[in-house]
Amino acid sequence: MELKALEFFIACVTAAGFGIAIAAFGCGIGQGLGLKSAVEGIARNPESSGKVTVTMLIGLAMIESLCIYALVVSLILIYAHPQAAAIAGLFAH
């Protein structure tokens, strides 16, 4: 029984690692594209820099929240496992 719990925990940790890596990669690409578009918009029309900057910051915050959600799900996968205490006891020796 302990071996199956350990295998499931290893799968959860692996999934959490891949999940946060993919989320960080996607959020980085999204933020880069958003920043690029905002800078191009300001370069074309410098008078609109205030509105573009505010909209860009709100958009970047929304994109960053997606990465934070992925982090929360990853932490739940790792630490909210029903047998996390038993598995931690295996490695405490």
- The residues near 83 (Cβ < 8 Å, ≥ 6 apart) are 5, 9
Structural domain containing residue 57: 2-83
58 inside domain: yes
Domain presence at residue 91:
no
- Residue 7: predicted pLDDT: 84
CATH code assigned at 27 = 1.20.20.10
Q: What is the pLDDT of residues 61-93, one digit of tens each?
A: 999 999 999 999 998 888 887 766 777 777 766
Identify whether 90 is part of a domain: no
Is residue 32 situated within a structural domain?
Answer: yes
Which residue is associated with the tokens 């300001």? 42
Number of domains in the chain: 1
Which tens digit of pLDDT belongs to each residue from 12-55?
Answer: 889 999 999 999 999 999 999 999 999 999 999 999 999 999 99
The reply to whether 18 falls in a domain is yes
